[in-house]
Amino acid sequence: MGRLRNALDRLEALPKRLVGEIGRDAVEFELGTLRDRLNDPAVAYEHFTRANDIAVARAAPGVADPRSYLETVAGFEKAMEPEWLSRWAPITAADAPVVFMVGFPRSGTTLLDQILDAHPNVHVIEEQPVLAGLGASFAAAPGGIPKRLAELDDVKAPRLREGLEKRLARWAGDRLPRVVIDKMPLNTVYLPLALRLYPKAKVILSLRHPCDCCLSCFMQPIRLNPAMASFASMDGATALYARIMRLWQRVAETLAPTHEIVRYEDLIGDVEGTARRVLEFLDLDWDPSVLDHTGHARARGLIRTPSFRQVSEPIYTRAKGRWERYRPQMDPYLDRLRPFISSFGYDDAPQEQTRPD
What's the rounded Cα separation, in Å, for the pair 202 and 105?
A: 20
- Are 298 and 246 a contacting pair, CB within 8 Å? no
Q: How many residues does the chain have?
A: 357
- Are 200 and 258 a contacting pair, CB within 8 Å? yes
pTM: 0.91
> Exposure pattern of 178-200 as b/e (b: 16+ CB <10 Å)?
ebbbbbbbbbbbbbbbbbbbbee
| Single-letter code of the amino acid located at 123 | H
Helix (H, G, I), strand (E, B) or coil at 92: coil
H-run or E-run covering 101:
strand 99-102
Q: What string of pLDDT tens digits covers the 357 residues of the chain?
A: 899 999 999 999 998 888 766 789 999 999 999 999 999 999 999 999 999 999 999 999 999 999 999 999 999 999 999 999 999 999 999 999 999 999 999 999 999 999 999 999 999 999 999 999 999 999 999 999 999 999 999 999 999 999 999 999 999 877 677 899 999 999 999 999 999 999 999 999 999 999 999 999 999 999 999 999 999 999 999 999 999 999 999 999 999 999 999 999 999 999 999 999 999 999 999 999 999 977 776 676 555 555 445 544 556 566 789 999 999 999 999 999 999 999 999 986 544 444 443
Strands (E) in 167-324, as ranges, are 179-183, 202-207, 258-263
Burial (CB count within 10 angstroms: exposed 0-12, middle 13-18, buried 19+), residue 238:
buried
Helix (H, G, I), strand (E, B) or coil at 122: strand
| Residue of 256, 23, 211, 2 whose CA lies nearest to 107 | 211
**Beta-bridge partner residues of 102:** 205
Phi, psi of 183 (to 5 degrees): -100, 110
